[in-house]
Structure 1
């Protein structure tokens, strides 16, 4: 009886979180912002610190209970296309759930999801991302922590193609930088040294 009540309460709270975001499901943010370092634990109680700069590009997939239904159609294609070349980070918005339900929720995640998912019990991390409730919210983040692309809602072919274009560009830029550093090191040069002594200001793109 108590278990049924807890499950009912959990689903009710998640549903209330989801309502406010439904109307914004298809909007795409073009405003970049910096992701600050943070640490959350996953369903196995293991801390998963996120700090920048990173060696690879990150994809942060945020969702509450309702939005989680959309995640698989995002994450599976990303894994198939990029494998370990990107860091795919799932974050579950658990704000509003009583502490007594946390062990049960962790157990549900362990049984239903193989990959680690960060549990945002307070909702602070999701709020920092300005997460939209009720949908999957996908953030593509470069190695320095800058959000360069954001898309929400259900995945489709065009949305995935847009994400691929951004991720492919970032990977290509990273590979080019690595090749330049390797070439400079092989020639005994400092890869961080400027190539020009000009005092002209850098132009913004």
Structure 2
């Protein structure tokens, strides 16, 4: 019962951005990069789906892949940003980039209400996009895309 993977056009421009995380650390994403990236993008509704993707990818690749998360938060009023940062700090031990404007999510074509994961090559090309909860065939597609990108390096 797998869903088809979406392979982005190779001619698409890389999505480059700068966001801060819950600890106010600035993350600059520019290409080329030294490693293949596994990016997880979600809003609150899709947050429960994140761990099913990240845990197996981290277990399989550990430090050989850059794993990053982005929270899509465009509806949070600026006066509440500090409160949300504190909540993220309390609940998470790893950094999550906070997309207050929603511009980065929009650049990736994020579909609200679900987690979306992207396998991104070192030059910024999106090799694979999956949406929703993790499933066996989807994870196999992620592994295959990462392995293929790593074999080209």
TM normalised by structure 1 equals 0.70
Counterpart position of 1:121? 100
Residue aligned with 2:18, SS: strand
User: Which residue, 71, 86, 90 being the options, matches 1:111?
Assistant: 90
Gaps of 5+ in 2: none
Higher strand share: 2
Counterpart position of 1:30? 7
Counterpart position of 1:55? 34
In structure 2, C-alpha distance between the alignment counterparts of 1:170 and 1:29, rounded to whole Å? 16
How far residue 130 of structure 1 moved from its aligned partner, in angstroms, is: 0.6
Contact kept in structure 1, 2:15 and 2:108, CA below 8 Å: no
Higher helix share: 1
Deviations along 1:67-120, one digit per CA (max 9) or x if unpaired, are 111000101111100011111110000001111111111111111111100000
Contact kept in structure 1, 2:7 and 2:126, CA below 8 Å: no
How far residue 157 of structure 1 moved from its aligned partner, in angstroms, is: 1.1
Structure with more relative contact order (C-alpha pairs < 8 Å, separation 6 or more)? 2
In structure 2, C-alpha distance between the alignment counterparts of 1:150 and 1:136, rounded to whole Å? 11
Contact kept in structure 2, 1:34 and 1:147, CA below 8 Å: no
Computed over aligned residues only, the root mean square deviation of the Cα atoms, in angstroms, reads 1.1
How far residue 169 of structure 1 moved from its aligned partner, in angstroms, is: 1.3
How far residue 29 of structure 1 moved from its aligned partner, in angstroms, is: 2.3
Contact kept in structure 1, 2:73 and 2:100, CA below 8 Å: yes
Deviations along 1:32-70, one digit per CA (max 9) or x if unpaired, are 233232100000011000010001001110000011110
How far residue 159 of structure 1 moved from its aligned partner, in angstroms, is: 0.7
How many pairs were matched up? 149
In structure 2, C-alpha distance between the alignment counterparts of 1:48 and 1:38, rounded to whole Å? 8
How far residue 27 of structure 1 moved from its aligned partner, in angstroms, is: 6.0
